[in-house]
Structure 1
């Protein structure tokens, strides 16, 4: 066997052993050998390497064997061996965190996007990452790399944001700028793509193969997982639900809330609801406030939100009819009004789809983008640990 092939097989087997220990939480060398159909000497040698590299930890003994012989040693995964910096750059806020290898968010920060967008965005990101690093008492060498999400179509191979209307970015070299800032490996993708990865790894989408994640916030976007794999499309723009036209009578005459926004997000997003309410009431009304007024029976709020949700429900219903997912997950700021949205969508879905689909709220709060960014890193990084 050539040395290259031997090294590759060794790496693959180490990944399998790590995966086995992570899934079982605690396991013995003998159990690993049996499960993976590898020889005990091979497993023992590879486990010793993984212990030396601090991927695995020996945690004492499991129950004694029936004949009273030597107790086998249990192995556990060392989730604190390394860390990932996750960055979710939204149109309203930038949310950042440092996770361990299990996806646990060990530190979290956020700051307003627009305040720093045009002059010191990356300096502010670095300041917060260094603050979290100091809080956790870790070094940059403890951080494997960075995952980042942005609200726009992103060429993941080149690390370039093709277009992000909420940030006014076009052909923006974000990966290069993050590498220059941190000198670490960096992977960047659309923010809803990272969210669907996060939900599949640690959230309500765990153990599901076909998932749709829809984010309703400043805009409306979605991430799509087909047969357990993130589907990005031929031009990295799969899942751009915000561009769906859900009313044929208005589709040619709509006015985008932000330049570059599609029809659906211009009539059903949080920014659309906020803008319409603010114009009606001649004061600044947030989407959250609009939903509060809706619950109180405010006439203008009911009219605007019912119209927005009618369009959103049609968009989601079409999605379900096309892709037949196991699960639709709703996230984003407006998902805070999940009970209202859920009822409207389910009423429309029952009328029009060939198959029903479960619709649930995201399992994460503000930290969802950070977990998703870490999931993106592990999904793309060619290291020993894979999710």
Structure 2
């Protein structure tokens, strides 16, 4: 076997052993070997390496066998053996989140500051210090960014909010951070957060729809366990959805303008009716006719969009996030009912479990997934 192939096999086995311990803890070396159909000597060598790196710890003897045989030493995954740093770039500053390997937040902090690379680096150092986490324990640093991202090349293609175009973000940050660095779009990150610690935990097929208080509308698609990015990293741009009524009225999507579907379901569109989204839904609950009409129109438009996505992608769940989702509980059952009537392909529709931290936590999940071969 070639050296490269042997190294790949070792990494694969190491990952399999670690995930088996993580999913079945506490578990003995013998049971790991049995589950993976690997030799006990191979598993023992891998476990010894994982213990030396503190990814795994021995927790004492388990129960004896049925035959009264010797008790085996049991193993557990150690989530505090490494940490991730997630940095969400905001219009006014940064939001930094630090988690362990299980997604438990050990520190979070918002910084109202400039977004030059040195300042970002200094804020990360300060947050790590406050969290009592050493840089040596950081597995990776991820950046959640509100715009069009080439995550494979580490390039910010376009972020209109910041006036950024074609910024080689990862290359610039590498001048300050000697750690693996990853970037992704904020909606994708929020979806990955829900998959890691939220309502889509461990699901391989789901859709995340973001509806912000402003003009922002977007979605992220997870299919067969992977993010669907698209040729130009623009998969999930539901803001550009069209209905037959739009085409017949010659309402088309134009470059540089808000999408037609976005104009129907965004926070800005809803707020323009009653003043704020909160006021609109409050008036809806009070039974005010104009608000009922506006919310019903929103529910129908959103349901049509979801039904079309469900028919195309067959997701197990559709999760609605963003600030508007905070007000949607009174109409969620109606959205579910309408979608169920619009398509024979059934799904579950829920609001997101994780709020404003989702982007920063999700980009940590994304970074850990890409760095899993180190474990």
Asked if TM exceeds 0.5, the reply is: yes
- Decide whether the 8 Å contact of 1:95 with 1:369 is kept in 2: no
- Decide whether the 8 Å contact of 1:165 with 1:259 is kept in 2: no
Aligned partner of 1:104 in structure 2 is 104
- Decide whether the 8 Å contact of 1:335 with 1:361 is kept in 2: yes
**Partner of residue 341 from structure 2, selected from 318, 327, 351:** 351
Aligned partner of 2:315 in structure 1 is 325
Size of the alignment, in residue pairs? 372
Question: Cα gap change, 1:294/1:166 in structure 2, threshold over 3 Å: closer, same or farther?
Answer: farther
Alignment of 1:174-189 (within 5 A): 174-189=169-184
- Decide whether the 8 Å contact of 2:158 with 2:166 is kept in 1: yes
- Decide whether the 8 Å contact of 1:165 with 1:260 is kept in 2: no
Mapped partners of 2:236, 2:111: distance in 1: 27
Query: Alignment partner of 1:248: what SS?
Result: helix
Mapped partners of 2:130, 2:281: distance in 1: 37
Q: Any stretches of 5+ residues in structure 1 without a counterpart?
A: none
Deviation at 1:370, TM superposition (A): 2.5
Please identify, of 54-63 and 244-253, the stretch whose mean Cα deviation from structure 2 is larger: 244-253
Query: Alignment partner of 1:266: what SS?
Result: helix
Question: Cα gap change, 1:47/1:111 in structure 2, threshold over 3 Å: closer, same or farther?
Answer: same
TM-score by length of 1: 0.86
Alignment of 1:29-48 (within 5 A): 29-48=29-48
Mapped partners of 1:178, 1:340: distance in 2: 44
Mapped partners of 2:364, 2:57: distance in 1: 23
Query: Alignment partner of 1:313: what SS?
Result: helix
Q: Any stretches of 5+ residues in structure 2 without a counterpart?
A: none
Mapped partners of 1:93, 1:327: distance in 2: 33
Aligned partner of 2:59 in structure 1 is 59
Aligned partner of 2:246 in structure 1 is 248
- Decide whether the 8 Å contact of 2:84 with 2:101 is kept in 1: yes
Query: Alignment partner of 2:373: what SS?
Result: coil
Moved over 6 A (4+): none
Deviation at 1:170, TM superposition (A): 2.9
Query: Alignment partner of 1:80: what SS?
Result: helix
Aligned partner of 1:212 in structure 2 is 207
Question: Cα gap change, 1:191/1:134 in structure 2, threshold over 3 Å: closer, same or farther?
Answer: same
- Decide whether the 8 Å contact of 1:109 with 1:128 is kept in 2: no
Aligned partner of 1:340 in structure 2 is 330
CA RMSD of aligned residues (A): 2.8
Deviation at 1:102, TM superposition (A): 1.1
1:265 to 2:262 alignment = yes
